[in-house]
């Protein structure tokens, strides 16, 4: 075992169980460990403020129990400029962005990494993400987490091999129940704290209410694929492809009781297109075009290759062929049609357990006869 006692690791402490156990595991491995609590959002209502204050208190309590120092940093300005404004622009354009991916790219593995190295003298950073690192031939690879149910590599595909090399992911080698068991044995306050859901800065709040603060409502019509008006929507930004709930068009006369799904968003005319059936042809794609590519090894793709892809988190891997169009654009052809491929979301590529990287979905390639 290499001598870790000379290496200083700064752990991103969120006030959750995964980062808490990560800090303890690193202490067990002999590292010099300190924590850093990042504030990425200026709360403007009481409920948000309480959650943020509680997270900080929990992070502090864990650090006190483990006997490590907790630093605090405010990245709210960086977050607003580099994550949130982009998020709003994407929604305005009718796309569905993934801010957690951008947050990892711009904040956790950029602003935090730089601050830890330059201001705190860190050799490495660590987070509570469920991914693994593998060093091969002088280059670091990003691997899926051991717990397939919790794997978070989808959210970390933008990382370069250099960023991976500067990072440790202690819980990526464990299954989630084991992480909770360790926290309970250590009697950490975060042991039974439920996992945070929702977008990193919105937390548990109602998404529609939050978005409505920043973007004006733009009502428009809901139509079926034949152009028949079925109702009204309050804004395309509130809807995503494949969505079933919240359309408010149930029980129409002259239609069966099958649920309605969003199959298209026509941004130019502000129309929401719906159809019945989870696998309606209009909802299916044979492939996609992706841009803003980030490959972990930072080598552009020059020839077609086969791998698997996820077009959203927790999706089963889809066998596919990747065809380069340029250094920053690729076409992806699925072996079988896929439902609800959503522009603005990310397509992330894998070879077995290795996360190769990914890109932002620019357009989906519909079934040839979907409109007929």
- Residues placed in the known binding site for ATP: 12-19, 38, 128
The answer to whether 63 is a known catalytic residue is: no
User: What span, in angstroms and rounded, lies between the C-alpha atoms of 275 and 243?
Assistant: 11
Q: What are phi and psi of 114, to 5 degrees?
A: -65, -45
User: What span, in angstroms and rounded, lies between the C-alpha atoms of 332 and 360?
Assistant: 12
| Residue labelled with tokens 């907790």 | 70
The answer to whether 200 is a known catalytic residue is: yes
Determine contact, residues 55/72, Cβ cutoff 8 Å. Answer: no
In the chain the beta strands, taken as DSSP E runs, fall at: 8-12, 32-39, 70-74, 124-126, 131-136, 139-144, 167-168, 220-224, 229-233, 260-266, 271-276, 284-295, 305-310, 318-326, 329-339, 346-351, 354-366
CB neighbours of residue 306 within 10 Å = 11
Q: What are phi and psi of 60, to 5 degrees?
A: -65, -45
- Tell which residue, 296, 65, 40, has the closest CA to residue 190: 65
Q: What are phi and psi of 351, to 5 degrees?
A: -120, 105
Q: How buried is 252 (Cβ within 10 angstroms: 0-12 exposed, 13-18 middle, 19+ buried)?
A: middle
Of 63, 103, 320, 355, which is the active-site residue?
Answer: 103
The first and second tokens of residue 317, run together, are 């891997």
User: What span, in angstroms and rounded, lies between the C-alpha atoms of 42 and 10?
Assistant: 23
User: What span, in angstroms and rounded, lies between the C-alpha atoms of 169 and 128?
Assistant: 6
Of 200, 307, 320, 355, which is the active-site residue?
Answer: 200
Residues 6+ apart with CB under 8 A from 258: 276, 277
Catalytic site residues?
103, 200
């Amino acid at each position: 075992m290499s001598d870790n006692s000379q290496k200083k690791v700064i752990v991103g402490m969120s006030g959750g169980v995964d980062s808490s156990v990560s800090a303890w595991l690193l202490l067990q491995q002999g590292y010099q460990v300190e924590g850093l609590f990042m504030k990425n959002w200026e709360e403007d209502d009481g409920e948000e403020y309480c959650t943020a204050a509680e997270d900080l208190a929990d992070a502090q309590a864990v650090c006190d129990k483990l006997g490590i120092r907790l630093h605090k940093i405010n990245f709210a300005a960086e977050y607003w400029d580099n994550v949130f404004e982009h998020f709003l622009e994407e929604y305005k354009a009718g796309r569905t962005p993934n801010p957690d991916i951008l947050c990892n790219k711009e904040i956790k593995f950029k602003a935090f990494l730089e601050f830890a190295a330059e201001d705190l003298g860190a050799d490495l950073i660590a987070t509570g993400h469920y991914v693994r690192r593998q060093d091969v031939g002088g280059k670091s690879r990003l691997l899926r987490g051991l717990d397939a149910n919790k794997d978070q590599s989808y959210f970390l595909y933008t990382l370069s091999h250099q960023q991976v090399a500067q990072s440790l992911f202690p819980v990526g080698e464990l299954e989630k129940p084991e992480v909770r068991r360790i926290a309970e044995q250590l009697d950490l306050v975060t042991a039974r704290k439920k996992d945070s859901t929702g977008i990193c800065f919105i937390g548990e709040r109602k998404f529609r209410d939050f978005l409505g603060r920043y973007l004006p409502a733009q009502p428009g019509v809901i139509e079926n694929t034949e152009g028949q008006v079925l109702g009204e929507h309050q804004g395309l930004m509130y809807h995503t492809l494949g969505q079933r709930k919240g359309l408010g068009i149930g029980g129409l006369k002259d239609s069966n009781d099958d649920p309605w799904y969003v199959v298209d968003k026509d941004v130019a005319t502000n129309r929401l297109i719906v159809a019945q059936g989870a696998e309606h042809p209009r909802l299916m794609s044979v492939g996609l075009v992706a841009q803003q590519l980030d490959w972990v090894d930072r080598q552009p793709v020059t020839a077609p290759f086969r791998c698997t892809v996820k077009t959203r988190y927790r999706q089963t891997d889809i066998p596919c062929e990747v065809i380069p169009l340029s250094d920053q654009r690729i076409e992806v052809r699925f072996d079988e049609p896929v439902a609800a491929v959503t522009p603005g979301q990310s397509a992330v590529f894998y070879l077995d357990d290795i996360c190769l990287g990914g890109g932002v979905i620019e357009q989906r390639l519909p079934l040839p006869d979907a409109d007929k």
